[in-house]
Amino acid sequence: MKEFRNPETIHPPLGLYQHQVELSASERFLIISGQVGMKPDGAVPSDPYQQLELALENILRNLEAADMAVKDLVKVNYYLVGEWDNAKRREIVAAKFGDCKPCSTLVYVVGLADPSYQVEIEAWSSRVG
């Protein structure tokens, strides 16, 4: 069982995340490698927000392939290149993840594995059984 918490002894979350999640020993874990904004045919759009949507869709496809769903996400790490409109970024994430607010980290980086990549997202999920 997953228990998400935001301790009252620290500030409330500043975005779409929880401060912590505790997992029981009976959980299945899925660790998803960094997903970039690439279409199945290998195309990478130049628009960073389209890349963000694709990277999130790739996370969702990985979950589905493991018989999991967005509600099973427990930790998401975002790596972004360049300047981003955080309100727009949050809107896109909320549209893909709905009410799911896993623990998360956002890091701005100088670059990723390929100069065309502007976003990379890795994720952890868990499910009982």
How do strand 73-81 and strand 27-36 relate by DSSP bridges? unpaired
The confidence score (pLDDT) of residue 61 equals 96
Reported as type and span, the H/E element at residue 14 is none
Dihedral sign computed on CA atoms, order 43, 36, 127, 25 = positive
Residue 128, helix vs strand vs coil: strand
pLDDT at position 14 is: 87
pLDDT tens per residue, range 34-61: 999 999 999 999 999 999 999 999 999 9
pLDDT at 76: 98
| Inter-CA distances, 35 with 55, 121, 122, Å | 5, 5, 6
Q: Which residues of the chain have pLDDT under 50?
A: none
| Domains (range + CATH), the chain | 2-128 (3.30.1330.40)
pTM (two decimals): 0.88
